[in-house]
Amino acid sequence: MIGLFDSGHGGLTVLKALAGRFPPGKFIYLGDHAHAPYGNRSSEEIVELTRQGVETLFGLGCPLVMLACNTATAVAARRLQREWLPASTWAGRHNVIGIIAPTVEAATQTPWAATSPQYPQKYNTDTIAVLATRRTIASGVYPEEIRKRCPKVMVQQQACPDLAGMIEAGAAESLLDAKIAGYVGELLATCGSVPPHRVILGCTHYPLVEPLFRQHLPPFTRLLSQPGIVADSLEDYLARHPRYLDGDAERAEPTMLTTGEAVEISAALATFWPEHRAFEHLEIRRAATA
């Protein structure tokens, strides 16, 4: 069983891509809607809420949990992997991964394990842009990790405040188009005479409006959208670690859980996955660190 954790709905775009590659019933999705959005919270709060979500999924029988949220990954993944998990009762049998590593791999064409410049990418002088939430941009994780692998690459970032909330609320396409046009315009102005060669859509909500981003970006700019990238990466990871898929009872669909109001949250599900069933409420027991 594999768990996916997100602060809300955005990770459903990743789950939908994964369910197209693997038996859908192998996944449990947990959205921490009761505490969303994470972008307004301190780093310590995000780390603790993410830890509690991961530990809940571990307890539900998921030895592998993916953080299907850029904010949770940017702020909490490293802390959980390096500090919490090795000292916890789950050490050695469980793991937590995020969605930023495969995105950086795709953007730099360099394996995550390579933390120093490799030929030919060490000479790459492209411009890579990142469109994401304010909190993900503020973390600086994308420029940091990209430049480890491609030190000559120019990385431009553009925060897109309110966009994820508008998408989740089902805003009209005309309003979304105007908002995206403004953000892309700001990005291109920052880039100056060198438009970006690649643009990372660094929020899992954004694939739902990818055509609008495409419309306002230069035609030669390549869009890197996370669901497909993450699905490719997980497929490779599971080929090397098949134990995370072995031995599960078969179910027809993913299990969908939320810490929020299940009926209200389910009503918004149509924007992300129209044919899928509703969420179920889960009360997370707020316990001390394992």
- Domain shared by 33 and 83, yes or no: yes
Do 215 and 110 reside in the same domain of the chain?
Answer: yes
Q: State the pLDDT at residue 180.
A: 98
Domain that holds residue 275: 2-99+228-281
User: Could you give the residue numbers annotated as active site?
Assistant: 69, 203
Low-confidence ranges of the chain (pLDDT < 50): 288-290
Q: Which of 225, 245, 272 is the last residue before a domain boundary?
A: 225
The number of domains in the chain is 2
Q: How high is the pLDDT of residue 290?
A: 40
pLDDT of residue 288: 45
DSSP letter string, 208-260: GGHHHHHHHS-TTPEEEEHHHHHHHHHHHHHHH-GGGTTTPPP-SS-EEEESS
Final residue belonging to a domain, choices 207, 225, 243: 225
- What predicted TM-score, i.e. pTM, was given to this entire model? 0.92
pLDDT tens for 247-264 read 655 677 899 999 999 998
95 and 130 together in one domain: no
Tell me the CATH number at 181.
3.40.50.1860
> Is 288 within the bounds of a domain?
no
> What confidence score (pLDDT) does residue 250 get?
62
pLDDT of residue 169: 84
286 is a domain residue: no
What pLDDT shows up at residue 127? 97
Residue 105 sits in the same domain as residue 219: yes
Do 36 and 123 sit in the same domain of this protein? no
In a domain, 114, yes or no: yes
Identify whether residues 183 and 239 lie together within a single domain: no
Same domain, 121 and 220: yes
Tell which of 193, 225, 257 closes a domain: 225
